[in-house]
């Protein structure tokens, strides 16, 4: 297994980033990450308004995948996620969303131990580690690591966890994969703008699907396929996810677009990933057993 430490980070996913590690398809890599604040908040006396904002959302990488070319797809098995102490959360007053209810700038340190997050004396919750930022480089101008899109990026999808397989489009030679923004736990919506932010390590197996092109990230686990879409509004993101999954299902030749749409309306689930980034992110899920009835797989 190759190892990449968190001294190699980027703040934009861009085609002109120089790879700091090269792997071959099928190889396993362990990636060390900083938290989304670049580990700048370590005590409850530390305040978000005092951090260096040029160091927000660092992503470790980029990692080049040998042979990856425009039109290919990366297949990324998330083998393990280990978050490190401490967990950090913030709440900052503002004019929009839930922030308008806050009266003070607050930093909260969340102890993480024995598979549990101690939110307070009254409440301890099990860890559910996930990856907030994971993506490839787009063509053209770079995209900040804090922004989601067709390339992946800051999707903040809580289902990107150990045991899942993420598919990302390749837009530039080598793909230039980067990873960061781990959460020890996060709810759908990420309504306060953070989960339990943590540094840590991620073990990934990265493979290549030559000639298989996807328009936006796909995710699969043991029971479901998911399309992840980002757009300026939740309505637009939802429309993009539903549209793409409808086209994927009908392209397999077993369903018309009308039938595919009706199937998604009765067997699919549209869920919000986050509402706090520059673009909103949703996922649309369809159970694998439903697709099996039609002999359909979204890839391959």
- In DSSP terms, which residues pair with 76 in a beta bridge? 166, 206
Element (H, E) at 244: helix 234-251
- Which segment of 52-66, 241-255, 257-271 scores lowest on mean pLDDT? 241-255
Mean pLDDT value across residues 215-230: 98
Q: What is the per-residue pLDDT for 201?
A: 98
**What's the CATH superfamily of 2-209?**
Acetamidase/Formamidase-like domains (2.60.120.580)
Between helix 234-251 and helix 257-267 the angle, nearest 10°, is 120
Beta carbons within 8 Å of 191's beta carbon, 6+ residues apart: 97, 98, 275, 276
pLDDT tens-digit readout, 147-198: 999 999 999 999 999 999 999 999 999 999 999 999 999 999 999 999 999 9
CATH code 3.10.28.20 region(s) in the chain: 218-294
What distance in Å separates the CA atoms of residue 225 and residue 223, rounded to the nearest whole number?
7
In the predicted model, what is the mean pLDDT of residues 210-227? 97
- pLDDT mean across residues, the chain: 96
Measured CA to CA, the distance from residue 113 to residue 135 in angstroms comes to 29
Mean pLDDT in residue range 77-105: 90
Burial class (CB in 10 A: 0-12, 13-18, 19+), 49: exposed
Query: Do residues 55 and 179 touch, judged by C-beta distance below 8 A?
Result: no
Domain with CATH 2.60.120.580 in the chain: 2-209
pLDDT attached to residue 197: 98
CATH code given to domain 218-294 = 3.10.28.20
What are the b/e assignments for 228-262, b being 16+ CB within 10 Å? Answer: bbbbeeeeebbebbbbbbbebbbeeeebeeeebbe
55: pLDDT strictly greater than 80: yes
Whole-number Å distance between alpha carbons of 274 and 263: 25
Which range of 39-48, 98-107, 244-253, 265-274 scores highest in mean pLDDT? It is 265-274
Residues contacting residue 202 through CB under 8 Å, at least 6 positions apart = 30, 31, 33, 78, 80, 81, 82, 131, 179, 182
Average pLDDT over residues 55-79: 98
Q: Which residue has the higher pLDDT, 4 or 49?
A: 4
More confident residue, 179 or 53: 179
Residue 89 host element (H or E)? strand 87-91
- pLDDT for 300 equals 63
Helix (H, G, I), strand (E, B) or coil at 234: helix
Are the beta carbons of 199 and 127 closer than 8 angstroms? no
How much of the chain, in percent, has pLDDT values that exceed 90?
89
Q: Please tell me the pTM assigned to this model.
A: 0.96
With pLDDT > 70 as the criterion, what percentage of the chain qualifies? 100
Question: DSSP secondary structure string, 14-47?
Answer: -TTPPPSEEE-TTEEEEEEE--TTTT---STT--
Q: Which helix (H) or strand (E) holds 110?
A: strand 106-110
pLDDT at 95 over 80: no
* Beta bridge partner(s), residue 275: none
The H or E element that residue 179 is part of is strand 177-183
What is the chain's alpha carbon radius of gyration, rounded to the nearest angstrom? 19
Cα dihedral value 291, 294, 295, 296, nearest 10: -50
């Amino acid at each position: 297994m190759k190892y990449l430490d968190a001294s190699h980070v980027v703040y934009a996913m861009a085609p002109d980033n120089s790879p700091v590690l090269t792997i071959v398809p099928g190889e396993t890599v362990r990636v060390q990450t900083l938290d989304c604040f670049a580990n700048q908040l370590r005590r409850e006396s530390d305040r978000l308004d005092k951090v260096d904002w040029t160091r927000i959302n660092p992503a470790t990488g980029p990692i080049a995948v040998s042979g990856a070319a425009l039109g290919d797809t990366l297949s990324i098995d998330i083998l393990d996620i280990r978050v490190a102490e401490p967990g950090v959360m913030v709440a900052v007053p503002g004019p929009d969303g839930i922030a308008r209810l806050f009266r003070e700038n607050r930093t909260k340190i969340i102890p993480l131990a024995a598979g549990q997050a101690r939110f307070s004396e009254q409440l301890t919750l099990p860890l559910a580690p996930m990856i907030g930022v994971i993506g490839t480089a787009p063509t053209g101008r770079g995209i900040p690591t804090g922004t989601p899109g067709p390339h992946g990026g800051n999707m903040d999808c809580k289902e990107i966890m150990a045991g899942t397989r993420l598919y990302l489009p390749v837009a530039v030679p080598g793909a230039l994969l980067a990873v960061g923004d781990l959460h020890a736990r996060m709810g759908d919506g990420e309504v306060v703008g953070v989960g339990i932010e943590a540094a840590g390590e991620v073990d990934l197996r990265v493979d290549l699907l030559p000639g298989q092109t996807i328009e936006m990230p796909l995710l699969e686990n043991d029971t479901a396929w998911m399309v992840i879409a980002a757009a300026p509004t939740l309505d637009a993101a939802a429309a993009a996810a539903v549209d793409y999954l409808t086209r994927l299902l009908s392209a397999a030749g077993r369903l018309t677009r009308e039938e595919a749409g009706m199937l998604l309306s009765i067997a699919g689930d549209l869920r919000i990933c986050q509402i706090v980034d520059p673009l909103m992110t949703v996922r649309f899920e369809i159970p694998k057993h439903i697709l099996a009835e039609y002999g359909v797989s979204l890839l391959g």
